[in-house]
Amino acid sequence: MRKPFIAGNWKMNMNNQSSSVLTESIVRELKQLGAERLDVAICPPFVYLHQVGKAVSASNVALGAQDVYYKADGAFTGEISCQMLKDIGCTYVIVGHSERRHVIGETNELINKKLTAAIHNGLLPIFCVGELLEEREARKTKAVVTTQIKKGLAGLDQEKVSAITIAYEPVWAIGTGKTATSAQAEDVHKMIRGLIAEMYGKRLAENIRIQYGGSVKPTNASELMAEEDVDGLLVGGASLIKDDFIAIIEASWRAK
Ligand code: PGA
- Mean pLDDT score, 193-214: 98
- Please give the share of the chain, as a percent, with pLDDT higher than 70: 100
The string of pLDDT tens digits covering residues 170-179 is 999 998 888 8
Q: Is the pLDDT of residue 154 over 90?
A: yes
Ligand 1 atom nearest the C-alpha of 237 is 4
The pLDDT, as a whole number, for residue 33 is: 82
What would the 3-class secondary structure string for the chain be?
CCCCEEEEECCCCCCHHHHHHHHHHHHHHHHHHCCCCCEEEEECCHHHHHHHHHHHCCCCEEEEECCCCCCCCCCCCCCCCHHHHHHCCCCEEEECCHHHHHHHCCCHHHHHHHHHHHHHCCCEEEEEECCCHHHHHCCCHHHHHHHHHHHHCCCCCHHHHCCCEEEECCHHHCCCCCCCCHHHHHHHHHHHHHHHHHHHCHHHHHHCEEEEECCCCHHHHHHHHCCCCCCEEEECHHHHCHHHHHHHHHHHHHHC
Q: Is the pLDDT of residue 151 over 90?
A: yes
Query: How would residue 88 be classed by pLDDT, with cut points 50, 70 and 90?
Result: very high
Q: Whose CA is nearest to atom 7 of ligand 1?
A: 236
Of 99, 131, 135, 169, catalytic: 169
Query: How would residue 150 be classed by pLDDT, with cut points 50, 70 and 90?
Result: very high
The pLDDT, as a whole number, for residue 178 is: 83
Which residue among 6, 10, 11 has the greatest number of ligand 1 atoms within 8 angstroms of its CB, and so is best to mutate? 11
Ligand 1 atom nearest the C-alpha of 9 is 9
The pLDDT, as a whole number, for residue 177 is: 83
Q: Is the pLDDT of residue 146 over 90?
A: yes
Query: How would residue 160 be classed by pLDDT, with cut points 50, 70 and 90?
Result: very high
Q: Is the pLDDT of residue 241 over 80?
A: yes
Q: Tell me the pTM.
A: 0.98
Q: Tell how far the Cα of 174 is from the centroid of ligand 1, in angstroms.
A: 5
How far from chain centre, in Å, is Cα 154?
19
Q: Is the pLDDT of residue 32 over 90?
A: no
- Mean pLDDT score, 51-65: 96
> Using a 6 Å cutoff on CB, does residue 236 contact ligand 1?
yes
